[in-house]
A and B are shown apart, each in its own frame.
Chain A
């Protein structure tokens, strides 16, 4: 990793190769790989909010779900072109994030965590009650997407969907890499390390946190919109607590604040989940539980720190 980091864009190129290799390696599991990619985007949004800005959240699904419903409704009622749908999903997620963020960022610690959960629950309740608009518990149906850019038709095995999602995720990933190195990204890191000192040197901590939460909300909205467009269905599950919690676990599993951790953790978690759930649909929760405890107790920096930890272990013995 360290040697790779010295060559410009080597890591990004490696990522592109992995995405291309995955397309040929799993021709019959493209839908699953696509789901992993969407989840990577969602976890990246949490990494921005939590890993960069240090805002503990267990309710990121609120923005994901809102993006999904917005994109789904847009496709049903306005136009089924995918790219405008993404923009609508992003804006919807960002709007919810800025509105709720203005209140949430006033709190911290447990109160903050709890309020983020509460926002997702309210969204869940509203989507459940507004049956005429969202389809309630039956889910939002009837999403039929037009070809991407009018050129690439969505096909039955999901080849177009895969490339469409891969390109969107990659573009957002590059944007986040850019952000991490930009003054805003550095200032968010500073707020994460010590809000008091950042206040002392004159940084507008509250406004920066709201901004980070809004950006994260927009990215989560894109992820939700992608999910709605690719699966052509939006169900109430998009607002579930489990989604937020699992995404958080993926992030911690991989390691926070480095963007790569979000990718590593998501791929690992989704693969373990997929294999364990298909091998034993009733007891996979055991495995996830032990995995989480194992990482928290033995690998606090996440999987991305595993090589360094192993090296240290090797040197000691």
Chain B
């Protein structure tokens, strides 16, 4: 019983992290049709900035995290304007290559400034504690992660479903030429969405540092993890990304607890079988 609860809590928390990092990737793929392999780099950059602020400037966890996210967004904006804008029109392969090149540059930058060691993001005393639920105790960090994840999902749903920006975004995803023709500034939508995705990735990177430790090779190491969420969820679908992230988080955590020896093999085998049966993912509109 306690094993099942452990799997549930860890799996859901892990899934929330995967969702926060991958949702931006899914939307940029659905909206701009760009395969952005450098997306994990934004999660790393958020973590690195937060690490530097905490270890060298003595800033607290929450302000450091917020500043890390802000710094990532501040970097994503010019990057989208100057580089990604040109990549949109490329073929699949050219996109893959250009974004691998960017990934290499991000890795090299972090490697140069911070070295290739693990960059710790120590949790503040309060977060590292456990909470007593009466029948058992749980690490508070996991609960905070789940709480933030739920808040992000509700926030995104409100943004997409209830605001004018959301309507325009959905219009641009469905058909960007028509959306542009009726006077929607798609260029601005692209930039804003890209930055939102990068910011959420930074949030996920910082909160998830316990599970996916921040280091220079982070974007390459976990790239497949994030791509899997997008492919399984279906490109351009928020609900798909969420369901996929949660499901994959649970499957991976469960296979780690139950068959630790063959966890990774089992996990990838599941994904290959699933995608062979449904090449477009759960709710994918684009293949």
Chain A residues close to B by CB (< 8 Å): 50, 56, 58, 103, 106-111, 113-115, 117-119, 121-122, 125-126, 129, 241-242, 245, 248-249, 252, 256, 282-283, 285-286, 288-293, 295-297, 300
Contacts and interface: CB of A to CB of B under 8 A. Distances in A.
A129 B261 contact: yes
Interface of B: 29, 35, 83, 86, 90, 92-94, 96-98, 100-105, 107-109, 111-112, 220, 223-224, 227-228, 230-231, 235, 261-262, 264-265, 268-269, 271-272, 275-276, 279-281, 286-287
With most chain A CB atoms within 10 A of its CB, the pick from B104, B112, B264 is B104
A170 B86 CA distance: 39
Contact of B97 (A109, A118, A122, A292): A292
Contact of A292 (B93, B104, B230, B268): B104
Contact of B264 (A113, A121, A291): A121
Which 10 A-B pairs give the minimum distances between C-beta atoms? Answer: A292-B101, A289-B104, A285-B108, A289-B105, A293-B101, A107-B279, A286-B108, A296-B98, A114-B227, A125-B264
Given A56-B92, A109-B287, A289-B102, A118 B276 contact: no
Nearest to B220: A241
B228 A293 contact: no
A119 B224 CA distance: 11
A233 B59 CA distance: 48
B279 A289 contact: no
Contacts of B104: 285-286, 288-289, 292
Contacts of A286: 104-105, 108-109, 112
Contacts of A115: 231, 271-272, 275
Contacts of B228: 114, 118
Nearest to A50: B93
With most chain A CB atoms within 10 A of its CB, the pick from B92, B93, B105 is B93
B133 to A, nearest CB: 36
B279 A118 contact: no
Nearest to B94: A296
Nearest to A113: B96
Given A110-B29, A282-B111, A282-B112, A56 B96 contact: yes
A56 B111 CA distance: 29
Contact of A285 (B107, B279, B281): B107
Contact of B224 (A103, A118, A290, A295): A118
Contact of A119 (B90, B98, B264, B272): B272
A233 to B, nearest CB: 23
B220 A242 contact: yes
A300 B94 contact: yes
B269 A122 contact: yes
A109 B287 CA distance: 7
Nearest to A107: B279
Given A122-B265, A242-B220, A111 B287 contact: yes
B266 to A, nearest CB: 10
With most chain A CB atoms within 10 A of its CB, the pick from B86, B230, B265, B269 is B265
Contacts of B94: 252, 296, 300
A109 B92 CA distance: 7
Nearest to A124: B264
Contacts of A126: 265
A292 B100 CA distance: 8
Contacts of A241: 220, 223-224
A111 B102 contact: no
Nearest to A100: B272
Nearest to A296: B98
Contact of B90 (A117, A118, A296): A296
10 contacts: A106-B279, A109-B287, A110-B235, A121-B264, A241-B224, A248-B100, A283-B112, A292-B97, A293-B98, A297-B86
Contacts of B286: 109
Contacts of B90: 296, 300
A111 B111 contact: no
Contact of B35 (A113, A282, A288, A295): A113
A263 B35 CA distance: 27
Contacts of B83: 293
B104 to A, nearest CB: 4
A58 B96 contact: yes
A107 B190 CA distance: 27
Contact of B265 (A109, A114, A125, A290): A125
